[in-house]
Structure 1
């Protein structure tokens, strides 16, 4: 079931049904959601940027939202293949690509594998490094915890990291929306993606070699950042950095006014 306020379209790609939003006219802007989220996280940006004459495309990634679930392990490259197949279906040759959190890594993999399909890259609250042995173990332990405890418990546990802890109290409606989105995520899909993330590639060289416009966006209180956003902006030859105030890991929902202004300023320069 879709949580998005926008019309759900469906494309059959790579043997699954992929749900997506496709709104507006103009140059294509593709928005990719993070782990245990779905495309409804971008509803505010779909509205804002269609009004700025962008065609906004936001899929529910395989295993999330209203898209089909494939159990086991879903690797970053599989998400990329789905996005490329969807763009082919929509006859979109090149797009501005924005990836959030897990999908920041999907976006970097896509830029590495299909650079001709990306006109500009926006990376939102993610890290470029591959997991080390300890990190891979943590991912699999987290996946095991989802299986044993369920999505309700997982959502409660991660909420103070997904948005700034202060915003859990200060923005109760945002906290409620994020919690419900995570808890509604299909357990098998969330588990498969978590296991796949353990095996992701390293994208440091990808960033160094990306010679098109690029923007890194991060919340000023992102619990996962640890300086990663600044380092990524410095790695990118044409990288810019936007730090969104009073935000944790999900600044587009915690401080949408500032997020949209930063994204809009970057997109405006592309024209």
Structure 2
């Protein structure tokens, strides 16, 4: 192992091609999973919680929540999904299931058998796929601004239009178009420093990653029936007047089991975790703390399935 100290608080470690940046309780790593370079942050220690970002952002979307959960006694893993942030772009056709396979591979690399998974938008769709194909890997699930339904005809047309814009005018035009919609939809969140900071993360997305993710979102499976049979602790968070991901929230709420904990914010944009950070953090920590004796028995959430 080669170790070179950069500053008093930072060190760079390179071992078998894996890169690790240590800063206090935060560890930033890049590892190859299923042939794709995956970047992620690893905060704190305790029961494992993996947070999955939305399209077309990256792991910076969760930076404030990750620190909060780490301070509350959890180990928080926040990856850049393939083609976003510092993670490599897929070489060929990529589906949501392909992304999930990479997440399972990341868990294996980290030696984590089970984890709580929290996802926003596209990240939430990945959690549904995880639950369907790898249920023993999921200790509990959280869905933020996510619907279990397949893309509607309206959304499919939207994704096709975005794909055409990407092909004809490039990623900058697509990002600008998405940003304008976000700004119009998110009220006071549109001018918040937290949301504005995400603009840079959008621009870091790889064109191949953008294209693959758009196709994956357009063609995603319908998990509505499966959602109604969930038996594990589940958290649903959204806004009352969501224009993007929760139009079918009433159908979702009728289908989920009693173990589902629901929180909807009456005055919020799409990114409830940025507009209502204090309330959102309270909801997250409360949900995690409610998972039995996991705080006293970390193996409940991290034992090998």
TM-score normalised by structure 1 residue count: 0.90
Q: What secondary structure sits across from 1:21 in the alignment?
A: strand
Q: Aligned pair 1:77/2:97, yes or no?
A: yes
Query: Going by fraction, where is helix more abundant, 1 or 2?
Result: 1
Contact residue 217 and residue 243 of structure 1 kept, 8 A:
yes
Contact residue 119 and residue 127 of structure 2 kept, 8 A:
yes
What does 1:73-222 align with in structure 2 at a 5 Å threshold?
A: 73-132=93-152, 135-162=155-182, 164-167=185-188, 170-171=191-192, 173-222=193-242
Counterpart for residue 33 of structure 2: 13
User: What is the distance in 1 between the residues matched to 2:77 and 2:246?
Assistant: 30
Contact residue 160 and residue 168 of structure 1 kept, 8 A:
no
Shift of the 180–221 alpha-carbon distance from structure 1 to 2, 3 Å rule, reads farther
Counterpart for residue 260 of structure 1: 281
User: What is the distance in 1 between the residues matched to 2:273 and 2:51?
Assistant: 12
Moved more, 211-220 or 221-230: 221-230
Moved more, 160-169 or 40-49: 160-169
Q: Aligned pair 1:65/2:79, yes or no?
A: no
Per the TM alignment, residue 254 of structure 1 is displaced from its structure 2 partner at its CA by 2.0
TM-score normalised by structure 2 residue count: 0.81
Q: What secondary structure sits across from 1:233 in the alignment?
A: helix
Contact residue 156 and residue 179 of structure 1 kept, 8 A:
no
Aligned-residue Cα RMSD (Å) equals 2.0
Counterpart for residue 34 of structure 1: 54
Contact residue 167 and residue 175 of structure 1 kept, 8 A:
no
User: What is the distance in 2 between the residues matched to 1:226 and 1:65?
Assistant: 26
In structure 1, stretches of 5+ residues that fail to align are none
Q: What secondary structure sits across from 2:119 in the alignment?
A: strand
Structure with greater Cα Rg: 2
Which ranges of 4 or more aligned residues in structure 1 deviate by more than 6 Å?
A: none
In structure 2, stretches of 5+ residues that fail to align are 1-22, 293-305
Aligned pair count reads 266
Per the TM alignment, residue 256 of structure 1 is displaced from its structure 2 partner at its CA by 1.2
Shift of the 155–175 alpha-carbon distance from structure 1 to 2, 3 Å rule, reads farther
User: What is the distance in 2 between the residues matched to 1:92 and 1:185?
Assistant: 28
Residues 118-173 of structure 1 show CA distances to partners (whole Å, capped at 9, x for unaligned) of 111101101111135554343222122123233333333223543643225542x2
Moved more, 11-20 or 182-191: 182-191
Q: What secondary structure sits across from 1:270 in the alignment?
A: coil
Residues 84-118 of structure 1 show CA distances to partners (whole Å, capped at 9, x for unaligned) of 00001111111111111011111100001011111
Per the TM alignment, residue 225 of structure 1 is displaced from its structure 2 partner at its CA by 3.8
